[in-house]
């Protein structure tokens, strides 16, 4: 091979600091009758024209904030194929990258192994079938979806019954003409924004899996998934900007989980974190949204994305099957800790902590009401209906993980059919 190995820095780009209030708002439509006080809660207007946005994106950046890799690469890679070679990709400054992150970007330094394979024929028919399905079922977010649908961002896009404070004293005190519509817009934005950021995390993690996967079948499948995730990002981003007109930064819980998955050099942790945990919880959330959404465009977007995500979770399960059967106890302990801690983070995301203040409501009171809400407790448990059975299928339902799931009150799903 004449070309030298690529040495690069993976730049994970998240909207972490989006102005003083952390929110972005597009001035795409005039809705003067509504939400005149929203700007007081920190909502920041985005530049309207492409040229302004392009200029912002080209702001000079620095590598000064790039963190060192959190842990050295380990030998956690599965037994190498004879025709496969691995190379460590070092996190080093790239002179071609400009300095100083713009407020809309952040940079994460990562290190992981890169596998070549010189055997291009199929050795994993199960993964090859998934790859073929991915190609057959691709859809175009631009042409497949009814973007001319008129969406009122302050209408009941998702049933009010899923509002974390629905039915509480605070809910009853809200002004139904002004405060309830504004809260609906904030909650819809918060939820879909975190879907969007999760999709970007999946895009980045899957691109890493293309590099680390040992077989041609896995690489080709993962490349197809990268394209799936790109379309998911495109669809949610367009919906948020054109229809909801408000974008939240990632929940700190989600951002921290994505950072963990993207910086861990062990290949199985990427699959476990992204394909099993993040995508598993996303499938649970998408299912609820799809079944209960009152707005047809978000329902259709979510329906299309769910079909893809089911393949993504299946890829994780097929790839990890058998990997943990003979893993040394100390290494297995890392996986147990990761599952338990990540599950706690995924559950806590859904308290919508960032929304209350931004929507002009009393933060502490709303948080307590959301914590007590029976509907929210049920919703948060349901999100684990895919994760728990898949963890069990992978042989990771150890006594410690079982205790963790019992504490989260989600062990009831262990024998559910995760493919349903």
CA 5 to chain centre: 30
Residue closer to Fe ion, measured from CB, 229 or 336: 229
- Identify each DSSP E strand in 103-216 by its residue range: 112-117
Per CB under 5 A, which region of 86-94, 106-114, 116-124, 302-310 contacts Fe ion? 302-310
Q: Which residue has the tokens 């089911």?
A: 310
- Residues 116-175 touching Fe ion, rule: CB under 5 A, are none
**Count helices and strands in the chain by DSSP H and E runs:** 16, 4
Task: Give the 3-state secondary structure of residue 192.
Answer: helix
Residue closer to Fe ion, measured from CB, 165 or 205: 205
271 binds Fe ion (CB under 5 A): no
Closest separation between CB of residue 263 and Fe ion, Å?
19
Residue closer to Fe ion, measured from CB, 211 or 274: 274
Q: Enter the DSSP assignment of 46.
A: P
Do residues 410 and 339 touch, judged by C-beta distance below 8 A?
no
202 binds Fe ion (CB under 5 A): yes
183 binds Fe ion (CB under 5 A): no
Q: For strand 112-117 and strand 84-89, is the pairing parallel, antiparallel, or unpaired? A: antiparallel
Do residues 25 and 43 touch, judged by C-beta distance below 8 A?
yes
199 binds Fe ion (CB under 5 A): yes
Give the CA angle between residues 340, 341, 345 to the nearest 5°. Answer: 120
- Residues 276-295 touching Fe ion, rule: CB under 5 A, are 279
Residue closer to Fe ion, measured from CB, 61 or 311: 311
Q: Which of 228, 7, 11, 2 is nearest to 114 (CA)?
A: 7
Q: Residue 297 has which token pair?
A: 């465009």
Residue closer to Fe ion, measured from CB, 63 or 308: 308
- Residues 204-263 touching Fe ion, rule: CB under 5 A, are 229, 232
Site string for Fe ion, 32-51 (x = CB under 5 A): --------------------
CA 105 to chain centre: 17
Closest separation between CB of residue 287 and Fe ion, Å?
14
311 binds Fe ion (CB under 5 A): no
Q: Which residues contact 17 (CB under 8 A, 6 or more apart)?
A: 103, 106, 249
Q: Which of 84, 150, 134, 83 is nearest to 113 (CA)?
A: 84
Residue closer to Fe ion, measured from CB, 202 or 261: 202
Residue closer to Fe ion, measured from CB, 232 or 349: 232
Closest separation between CB of residue 384 and Fe ion, Å?
17
Task: Return residues touching Fe ion (CB under 5 A).
Answer: 199, 202, 229, 232, 279, 309, 312
């Amino acid at each position: 091979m004449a070309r030298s190995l690529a040495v690069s820095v993976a730049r994970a780009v998240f909207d972490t600091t989006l102005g003083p209030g952390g929110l972005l708002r597009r001035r795409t439509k005039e809705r003067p009758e509504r939400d005149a006080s929203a700007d007081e809660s920190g909502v920041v207007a985005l530049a309207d024209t492409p040229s302004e946005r392009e200029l912002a994106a080209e702001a000079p950046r620095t590598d000064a904030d790039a963190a060192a890799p959190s842990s050295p690469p380990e030998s956690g890679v599965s037994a190498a194929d004879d025709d496969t070679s691995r190379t460590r990709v070092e996190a080093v400054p790239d002179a071609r990258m400009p300095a100083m992150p713009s407020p809309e970007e952040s940079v994460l330094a990562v290190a992981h192994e890169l596998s070549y394979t010189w055997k291009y024929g199929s050795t994993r028919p199960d993964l090859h079938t998934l790859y073929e399905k991915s190609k057959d079922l691709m859809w175009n977010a631009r042409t497949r979806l009814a973007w001319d649908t008129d969406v009122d961002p302050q209408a009941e896009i998702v049933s009010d019954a899923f509002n974390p404070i629905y039915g509480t004293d605070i809910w009853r005190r809200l002004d139904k003409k002004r405060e309830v519509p504004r809260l609906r817009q904030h909650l819809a934005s918060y939820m879909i924004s975190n879907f969007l950021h999760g999709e970007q995390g999946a895009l980045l993690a899957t691109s890493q899996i293309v590099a680390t996967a040992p077989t041609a079948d896995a690489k080709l499948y993962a490349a197809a998934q990268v394209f799936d995730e790109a379309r998911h990002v495109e669809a949610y981003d367009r919906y948020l900007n054109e229809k909801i007109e408000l974008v939240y930064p990632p929940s700190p819980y989600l951002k921290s989980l994505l950072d963990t998955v993207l910086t861990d050099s062990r290949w199985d942790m990427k699959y476990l974190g992204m394909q099993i945990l993040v995508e598993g919880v996303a499938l649970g959330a998408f299912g609820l949204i799809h079944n209960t959404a009152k707005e047809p465009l978000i329902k259709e977007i979510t329906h299309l994305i769910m079909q893809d995500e089911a393949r993504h979770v299946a890829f994780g399960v097929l790839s990890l099957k058998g990997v943990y059967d003979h893993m040394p106890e100390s290494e297995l302990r890392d996986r147990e800790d990761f599952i338990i801690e990540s599950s706690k983070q995924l559950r806590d995301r859904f308290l919508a902590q960032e929304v209350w203040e931004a929507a002009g409501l009393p933060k502490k009171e709303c948080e307590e009401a959301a914590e007590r809400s029976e509907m929210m407790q049920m919703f948060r448990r349901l999100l684990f209906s895919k994760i728990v059975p898949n963890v069990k299928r992978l042989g990771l339902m150890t006594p410690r993980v079982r205790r963790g799931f019992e504490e989260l009150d989600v062990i009831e799903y262990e024998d559910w059919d995760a493919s349903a």
